[in-house]
Amino acid sequence: MKRRDFLTYGTSFLGGTYLASNNIAVSYADEYSPKITKNDKSVIFLWMGGGATHIETFNPIPYAPVERRSATGHIDTKIPTVKIGGLFKEVAKRSDKINIVRSFAHKDSNHQTATHWVVGGERNQGGTSQNYPSYGAMIAGYYGPVSQPHGLPTYIKMNKIEGDGAAWMGQKYMGYEASREGVGDLQLKMAKDRFMGRKALLDLVEKHSAIKEQGESWREFQSQAVTAITGKAAETFRIEEDSKYDTFKDDQLGKDALAAVRAIQNGAKFVNIQYGGWDMHTGIVNALNSRQVTLDRYIGLLMDELQARDLFENTLLVVATEFGRTPKINGNAGRDHWSGNVPLMFAGGGYDLGRAIGTSNANAEVPEDGECGPLDLRWTVLNHMGIQRNNTWMGIQGRPMPVTTNEEKNILTDISVGVG
């Protein structure tokens, strides 16, 4: 749900206009024996939308034929024998604090359905609609939609990623979309005491009326909106007040990264950042000289800022995309869709760092050792957040749905380290 809709639905009565809730009322089932050990961990999920090349990022195969190796060259890292794409200079400087994965793969080269698969762990069973909740929605379900003590939404989307909704978990876990329109929607239009007085009146009316029977979603939206406006949310997104704003302000990705750090600092559990533009069928070198250089800069600054605010150990940074690109350069000096090897990077989170996990074959076409896929990424993220194995959730259809099983691998702890 977009921020403007979230706040319009949630506070319309308080501002003087009551919207009939029949159109937004949804029947939600109670949680089905959720198993979780809640912790102080969090996740920032940085999405390279469009299908980023694995060869020019984390698997440059420097000794392959020229039409296959990285078109932007390669650079040494602090990981013995491991090289990454030549434009990742800032990432290379911090490579002792990251884990790159060279054995992540799946079997879908369609943008929409591959994205759903990677951001939710499960492959769509027919069609292109989202059939499975995103990781952020799952975490919001287990931790509750609003984090404590500051009242920030648990799941925040700095900008939308395809498939980042809640599917059968229900709309109250869809997350809070912090659009790029500024923070005007988070400003009170009346004195706070008057606003809270109207809320108290509404609570009294609902206690003795049928309004509360018109849908839990209405009350949930209203509660979250009130908390967001009167709590820490407005302050979180006023990034221009941050002492590091000048460091991050030159690109929207930088602003989103700073806002994500502030959100985690104030209690959010899962924050999406979308940085698209990676569908490079033509002229890949020119495209990367713009896109990847910017990404490289802000991954470095994001990691530095998490460390400066003592958030790095508890925050898992995930850099992911829907698929990789063809191992061989095409006739238009670009690379086409390829799901046999998909770029993936982690940083922080309290894990062993400075590793290349898994290996691909010599031409970076498919995994060779330590193959892993979207289900394993899902378990890695959920396990980091304390969600346990063999978990189910009572979906809005009224039947338990699987969230985790005993079959997934934690990419950061269960897969062997590869070599350069």
Residue 31 has pLDDT above 50, yes or no: no
Arithmetic mean of pLDDT, 75-90: 96
Domains of the chain: 1-29+190-227 (no CATH), 31-182+237-402 (3.40.720.10)
In whole angstroms, give the CA distance from residue 379 to residue 388: 9
Arithmetic mean of pLDDT, 31-54: 87
Backbone angles phi, psi at 337, to 5 degrees: -70, 145
Kindly list the distances between the CA atom of residue 331 and the CA atoms of 62, 69, 283, 336, 351, in Å, as whole numbers in the listed order.
21, 15, 10, 10, 42
More confident residue, 389 or 283: 283
Kindly list the distances between the CA atom of residue 22 and the CA atoms of 16, 26, 216, 217, 225, in Å, as whole numbers in the listed order.
18, 9, 11, 10, 18
Q: Let me know the angle formed at the C-alpha of 190 by 184 and 195, rounded to the nearest 5 degrees.
A: 110
pLDDT category at 179 given cuts 50, 70, 90 is low
Q: Across 4-8, 20-24, 362-366, which has the greatest mean pLDDT?
A: 362-366
pLDDT in tens, 390-415: 888 888 888 888 888 888 999 999 99
Which of 53-67, 124-138, 216-230, 373-387 is predicted least confidently? 216-230
Determine the straight-line distance between the first and last CA of the chain, rounded to whole angstroms: 43
Please say whether the beta carbons of 175 and 157 come within 8 A: yes
Dihedral sign (CA 2, 224, 316, 119): negative
Question: Looking at residue 177, what is its pLDDT?
Answer: 87
Please say whether the beta carbons of 103 and 97 come within 8 A: no
Residue 212 has pLDDT above 80, yes or no: no
Question: Looking at residue 127, what is its pLDDT?
Answer: 65
Average pLDDT value for the chain: 83
In whole angstroms, give the CA distance from residue 223 to residue 246: 34
Name which of 100, 43, 54, 106 is nearest 372 in CA terms: 106
Q: Across 7-21, 30-44, 148-162, 178-192, which has the greatest mean pLDDT?
A: 148-162
pLDDT in tens, 213-253: 445 554 555 555 555 555 667 788 899 999 999 999 999 99
Please say whether the beta carbons of 265 and 44 come within 8 A: no
- Reduced to 3 states, what is the DSSP secondary structure of residue 123? coil
Q: How far is CA 327 from the centre of its chain?
A: 27
Instruction: Tell me which residue has tokens 């990034």.
Output: 239
Arithmetic mean of pLDDT, 165-181: 82
DSSP string, 284-310: HHHHHHHHHHHHHHHHHHHHHHHHHTT
Name which of 342, 345, 295, 316 is nearest 82 in CA terms: 345
Arithmetic mean of pLDDT, 372-379: 97
Helix 284-308, helix 252-265: angle, nearest 10: 30
More confident residue, 379 or 202: 379
Residue type for 215, please?
A: G
Arithmetic mean of pLDDT, 176-204: 52
pLDDT category at 381 given cuts 50, 70, 90 is very high
Arithmetic mean of pLDDT, 31-48: 84
Residue 198 has pLDDT above 60, yes or no: no
